[in-house]
Structure 1
């Protein structure tokens, strides 16, 4: 199994509700990808329980993309604004939440998050990381070293993320140990970010928690995507092939994968071989 999936279970625990991960008497914060639900996010502004918000690309090299910037929102737990924002995270998985161990300034929390959107990559360049996306953020928290994990959590305290299933994951608060290292994309982290959408789709399609996904399923799904079978409805039809008991594809399936056919024709051939 990819190491980052294993570490989800090591670094976090399942909780049934977002609120169960936090202290009820203090503010909580959400990072929302407002561009994916602009009307519903705009409707949050000014609702009872809404305290304040910042656009996270403001004042950074990403400022030209300000209209697409994720938001950092401060809310009162249990309020109308909290309930609406929680629904956005759970139903559309466009954000995640956290609660510092002690009162914190919104600006300070934003500054911490802003340094995570553009990281040095292992190819000598820089890569944009969609920190606001729970899929990517989960991979970042799980794939990094213990030191990197502590740096990512930093002042955020307790972090709670949605999952592909109805439950949530509450991540353990972390204290920095040893010398801080410059945050960057390692090969492992880069690979986890590439694998994470595949893992989330499989988790939802098979009702299997991320950390319990058999590694063979991810490998087979990757093989299908590599030959051009990427649409969800095609992959759904081939789910029995992805989740088969045999370790390897049969020879007829291998031939079907290599066939010079459009994706929909390949799906028909492979489906007949299940």
Structure 2
């Protein structure tokens, strides 16, 4: 299993409710990718329990993309606005939630998150990271070192993310980071983090397709799915047809994945649908 998946269980625990671990009488916050559901997100503004929000690209090098900016939203826990927003996170997985250990200014929380959208990458440049996407955010939280994890969580306190399954993950809180360390809250995008981000969508699809938690996925399943994608097979309905091959029990004597015919089909220059037909029919 890729290391980042195995660390999910060590850094978080499964919870059935998004509000698990949150203090009832204090505000909670959501990071929402509002561009993926603009009408439903806009409707939140008028609902009871809505306090305030900020656009996270404002005042950053990403400000030209302000209309597509994710939001940082402050809500009353358990309110109508909260219920609607958390439904968005669970049904469409367009965001995640947190609650600081102490009362915090919305602007300070936004400043912390703004540092995380552009990270120094291992190639000597900088890369945009979709922090608002729970798929990417989960990979970042799981894949980094303990120091990187603390830098990511920083002042956010209790972080809770959706999963590909109906439950949620509540992540370990970290010791508060002092003001002197505020400029160091953006970890570099290491090779490990970069690889986890590349694998994250694949892992989420497999988890949902097999009803298996991310941290329990067998490593060979992810490797096989990666081989299909490298062969140009990306569409969900095509991958679903080949899922039995992905889940096939390892057998050194009759390893379908090691057969010359399989490898030839994967490398063949043909449309994806025709390749899937041939792979599905091959012995």
The answer to whether the aligner puts 1:255 opposite 2:264 as a matched pair is: yes
Residue 128 to residue 14, structure 1, CA distance change in 2 (3 Å): same
Show CA shifts across 1:65-89 (max 9, x none): 0000000000000000000000000
The answer to whether the aligner puts 1:273 opposite 2:277 as a matched pair is: no
Query: What is the alpha-carbon distance in structure 1 between the residues aligned to residue 64 and residue 270 of structure 2?
Result: 42
Structure 1 gaps of 5+ residues are: none
Query: What is the alpha-carbon distance in structure 1 between the residues aligned to residue 185 and residue 116 of structure 2?
Result: 13
Query: What is the alpha-carbon distance in structure 1 between the residues aligned to residue 101 and residue 76 of structure 2?
Result: 15
Show CA shifts across 1:187-244 (max 9, x none): 0000000000000000000001000000000000000000101111100000001111
Q: Is 2:115–2:186's contact at 8 Å kept on the other side of the alignment?
A: no
Deviation at 1:253, TM superposition (A): 1.7
The list of structure 1 runs, each at least 4 consecutive aligned residues, that deviate by more than 4 angstroms after superposition, is 179-182
Aligned counterpart for 1:228 among listed residues 226, 232, 240: 232
Aligned counterpart for 1:246 among listed residues 246, 250, 263: 250
Backbone CA RMSD of aligned residues: 1.4
Query: What is the alpha-carbon distance in structure 2 between the residues aligned to residue 272 and residue 176 of structure 1?
Result: 57
Show CA shifts across 1:43-92 (max 9, x none): 00021000000000001111100000000000000000000000000000
Structure 2 gaps of 5+ residues are: none
TM-score (norm 1): 0.97
Q: Is 1:8–1:142's contact at 8 Å kept on the other side of the alignment?
A: yes
TM-score (norm 2): 0.94
Residue 61 to residue 192, structure 1, CA distance change in 2 (3 Å): same
Q: Is 1:48–1:81's contact at 8 Å kept on the other side of the alignment?
A: yes
The answer to whether the aligner puts 1:69 opposite 2:69 as a matched pair is: yes
